[in-house]
Each structure stands twice: as C-alpha cells, then as structure tokens.
Amino acid sequence: MGQLFGTDGIRGRANTYPMTCELAMKTGQAVGLFTRESGNRSVIIGRDTRVSGQMLESALAAGISSTGVDVLLAGVIPTPGVAYLSSVVEGAGAGIVISASHNPFYDNGIKIFKRGGIKLSDDQEEKIEVRILGEDIVPREEVGKISVITDGCGRYTGFLLEKFPFGKPDKKLKLVIDTSNGAAYECAGQVFKADLFDTVFIHNQPDGKNINENCGSQHTGDVSALVLKEKADIGLAFDGDADRLIAVDDKGREITGDRILAICAKYAKARNSLGNNIVVSTIMSNIGLVNALKTLNIDHEITDVGDRRVLERMQETNATIGGEDSGHMIFLKEHTTGDGMLTALKLLEVMIGTGKSLSDLAEVMTVYPQILMNVEVDASRPDFNKVPLIADAIKEVETLLGEQGRVLVRYSGTQPLLRVMVEGPEVDITRECCEKICQAVRESICKL
C-alpha cells in the first residue's frame, strides 16, 4: 500500500489532502498518461451524490484533458456502472469513480478502473502514484475534449437486465429498496421496474449531504421495519456507490454477504454452473460460511480483505462467485467487479427459481456471533503484534475461545482505524472478548 492508494483507491476528507483539487488534477494527468500509453484516447468519470463530487470531477477532467486525452462524464452512476462503461465504450482506456463508498458525505475518494472494467494492479497503482507525487506533468499542446455521456445509467441498467430475462410473474415479488441517497437513486428504478416487481423505494432523495446518513447497507433498520410493515418478500440496501448489497429477509433479519454467497453458491452448484466448484471469500468471513461450504462440498478459497483481492483469487482459481461479508459480491460470469444491483438480481433469481422465501434460503448457513469494533489510531500505524499489552490480550482471547471462535485484528485500508473482529459461541462472550482487545489498544497504541 502506497502513500495515496489504500485498499480501494485514494480516500480522505474532501477539500483536505489528499482529496484536494490540486491532487485530483494531478491524478487526472497521471491517468491521462496511463491511458495514452495503453493506446486509448478517453477516460470515463462517474460519481456518487456527494456535494464535493462535482468539484473533484472538474479537477480530474482538467488534468486528463491537459494530457490530450478526452473525458466522458457519466454523471451520477454506481461504481460498477463505470466499470461496465470502461469495458464497452470504444477508445476508453480507464474509468474513474469519485466516491467514498459507505463513508459519510464529508469524505470522498477516487477509484480507478483500467480498460475492461478491472481495478488497477499494485504495480499500476504504484506507477500512477509516483507520477502524482513526482514533478509536475507538462501539459501537451494537444488538449482533450470534455463531453457528457447522456445514457450512461441506461446502458448500464440495460446490461444488467439482459443477464436476467425475468418473465412477467403471476405474482410480483414485493421489494423494499434503500438506495442510501447515493449513486443508485435513479438507476435502481430502471432495474427493479414496476412491470416485474412491486417496489417501495426509500432514502432515494439525495441532497449532497445525506448519502449513507442512517441508511443504506450500513444502517438497515429502516428497511427491516418497512419489510415487516409492508409484508415484503425482501429488502435490498445498497451503499453510497452501490457496489455493495446487504439484504433483509421476509422476517426482517439482516442477510449479509457471507449468507448471500452461500445461497448463490448452493443454487449455482445445483445447476452445474459454479465455476470450478469454488467460492472465494476473505479473512473477514464468518466461520459459519466455512462450515456451510464444507457441508455443500464446495471448495473454499480465503484471501485478504478487499474485493480486488477476491477478484485476483477468483481469476487464479477459475472461480465464478466470490465476495466479502460487507456486501461486495463478484459474479464473474456477469461482471468484473462488485455490484450491488447485480447481487440483488442474483438473489431474486434464486428466490424465483426455487420458489422459496429468503428466510428459508438463508438457513443454508448458521451465523456465528461476530463483533467488529473500530478504534481510532494515529497515522503511525505501529505493529500491534509487538505491543505487549495488545499481543497478550489477543493471545488470552484466542486461548479462551479455542476452536469455537477466532480473532482478527487489522488496520483499515481507508480510514485511521484499527479494526478488531472476534467470533465466538455466544454474543455476550464474544462482545466481552472484543472489548478486552480494544481496551488494550486504547491503553497502549493510541498513546504511542
């Protein structure tokens, strides 16, 4: 991980380094040169609904065009929509998304896709970062044009619906959809149409500051309550850039990424369409997923955190389904990146294909109690394994839980946080164990 790029692009507080206009312009120049070197001639830019999005869009566009590369503005569109456009628009050498995903409105970020809708490799990120942080890039005599893609959302949603030719049902499934006042607020209405589904939308009136505010994939309480009130079949909650999905079943219970993986993998295996009989997930996945896949006789590959790492392992193993418990799901037969609306369509396909409720389908996996706590730390990020108080607390908890649980402690790739995750046999025991480690962190690492 470099100075700028974290696990998912560049991210920080808008109008504060590194999310400044100056750095955005230099990022645009670096991506422009990257595009020229790949033999392409344009870059697509999309954004979510944050108030700072247009400011950063303008700076990025200026930087790109100063290298003689054209800019195509897709406006407000989900991250996977930009990935799709960057694979089908002729001459597009890269796609940039201006979004901080599930973070509050005052944060923003820059995610970069190369031609084909694939996120940059570590080496490519490093090369671009060197250019951003290096000497000023001299503009070329040739200046690129800046124009607007007027049908970006339509092309993307059309691509999704082509994958799922649902016939008009005898009885429509009832959906509650929370777009998190984010990038999916318009596109979702084009996908989950009235002729196919009976849909109620909430949190789909963005004002630039209400993105992810007590809504979306991080806050499913409103969806759960409305599913029960409306007697809906399923609730679907996206995050700010709609590359994540957290579902809610017909009983109002949250169905996170691990259970979605298990549901979709079982359905695919039964139809001989599970690539290489493998599911890929990350070290953050629940022990329950491990047990469920073992029961289903499905091989399981585990990788580091980040949907980019999941994709890399999927490509290495010829897997077609992978994802994270946080809601990033990759269905490689259909798309190259995590896609919340695609995942929602996959779940609906299983429900329609089996005739079962989501609550019944979710029984494929028993979820172990999992507690995740975050502790704010400074930028120095010392090796916590070498801090005696923390190391002793972790060892004590691991000994207590034995084979009935596990501990995972890691720094966030996008925020100044140390994440402490503990799984155990009971909620109260698990919470106490997690708090024990967090307290050790507060008493030591936060004071270094």
Alpha-carbon span 178 to 242, nearest angstrom: 10
Residue that is written with structure tokens 């490509």 in the block: 315
Residue that is written with structure tokens 């996120």 in the block: 119
CA angle, residues 336, 10, 331, in degrees to nearest 5:
15
Beta strands in 100-170 (DSSP E): 107-114, 118-119, 146-148
Taking every pair of Cα atoms in the chain, the longest distance, rounded to a whole number of angstroms, is 67
Options 66, 101, 180, 326, the catalytic residue: 101
Alpha-carbon span 22 to 353, nearest angstrom: 51
Residue 49: which of 24, 76, 27 has the closest Cα?
76
Q: Which pair of tokens denotes residue 112?
A: 């970069």
**Can 121 be counted among the known catalytic residues?**
no
Tell me phi and psi for residue 45, to 5 degrees: -120, 125
Residue 112: which of 43, 54, 20, 171 has the closest Cα?
43
- The answer to whether the CB of 95 falls within 8 A of the CB of 71 is no
> Looking at this protein, which amino acid is placed at residue 318?
N
- The answer to whether the CB of 281 falls within 8 A of the CB of 327 is no
What is the number of other CB atoms lying within 10 angstroms of the CB of residue 134? 10
Strands 278-282 and 321-323: parallel
Q: Which pair of tokens denotes residue 358?
A: 């989501």
State the catalytic residues: 101
